[in-house]
Amino acid sequence: MMDKLFAGVRIRCLEKADYDKTGQKWSVFLAPNTLLKAVARLNDDGWFLEDVCAVDSVEGFLVLYHFDHWQKSGRLSLKVLVPHDDPRVPSISGMYQGALWHERETHDFHGIVFEGHPNLIPLLLPAEADFHPLVKDAKSRLPLKDLMVLGEVVSCEESIQALFPEEAEEAAAEQGGEEAEAEAES
């Protein structure tokens, strides 16, 4: 289902999450430059945005977009990893106006810059605030592999698989063929 939805969009990693454990059905890693294309597909397919948030990790900020659907229930999470020193992702507020505030909030809390946002001013913090409260110091940051697990991997680029070392070997053995296909498609 997801392969079809995202056909032609370059996906860094597509995994079927364990709904009973994570409350999510699909999890999709994307590069910042393919985010808008993927979100446009969701928009055409009638998904709605639940929220946007970020998680601070050793590898960078993981910006998360949670989507759900009115008819076909099943949470989908788009994940975009951006570096600490230049955290930029395109704003999806052109398609989902609900993101206007979620993105401002994420900018407040983590300092993520949403490019193309029409009004990226503080939402919840005071206008003069010069800090981002949810950014962790280097000591308390943890790598992504300690925070989440990959579910059933459908396709995955090496750069993402390298972040989750335990899963890497199994997934590569099972999904080697499909991965090559996904590469060819993109």
Partner 1 sequence: MTRYPNMEQVTGDFYTQNFEKGAREGSLILNMGPQHPSTHGVLRIILELDGEYILRCDPVLGYLHRMHEKMGESKTYRGFIPNMGRVDYGCPLPWNWAFVGAVEKLAGIEVPERAEYIRVITTEMNRITSHLLWWGAYILDLGAFTPIMYAFDEREWLLDLLQTPTGSRLTYSSFRVGGVGHDIDDKFIEGLKAFIPYFRSRLPMYKDLVTDNIILRKRVEDIGPMPLDMCRRYGATGPVIRGSGLAYDIRRAEPYGIYDRFDFEIPTQDTCCCMGRYKVRLAEFEQSLRILEQAVDQIPDGPIIMDKAPKPSWKPPKGEVYFAVEGARGKTSVYLVSDGTKSPYRVKLRAPGFSNLSLFAEAAQGTLLADAVAILGSLDLIIPEIDR
Q: Are strands 13-16 and 152-156 parallel, antiparallel or unpaired?
A: antiparallel
CB of 89 to partner 1, least distance (A): 17
The yes or no reply on residue 95 touching partner 1 (CB under 8 A) is yes
* Residue 170 burial (CB count, 10 A): 11
- The CA distances from residue 124 to 101, 127, 131, 142, 182, in Å, are 10, 9, 12, 26, 41
Indicate which single residue of 32, 66, 157, 178 sits in contact with partner 1 (rule: CB under 8 A).
66
Q: Which of residues 129-158 bind partner 1 (CB under 8 A)?
A: 133-134, 142, 146-149
- What would the two tokens of residue 77 be? 């999470």
127 binds partner 1 (CB under 8 A): yes
Q: How far is the CB of 75 from partner 1 (least distance, A)?
A: 6
Task: Quote helix, strand, coil % in the chain, to nearest 5.
Answer: 35, 25, 40
Contact residues for partner 1, defined by CB under 8 A = 20-24, 46, 48-51, 53, 55-56, 64, 66, 70, 73, 75, 77, 95-98, 100-102, 109, 119, 121-128, 133-134, 142, 146-149
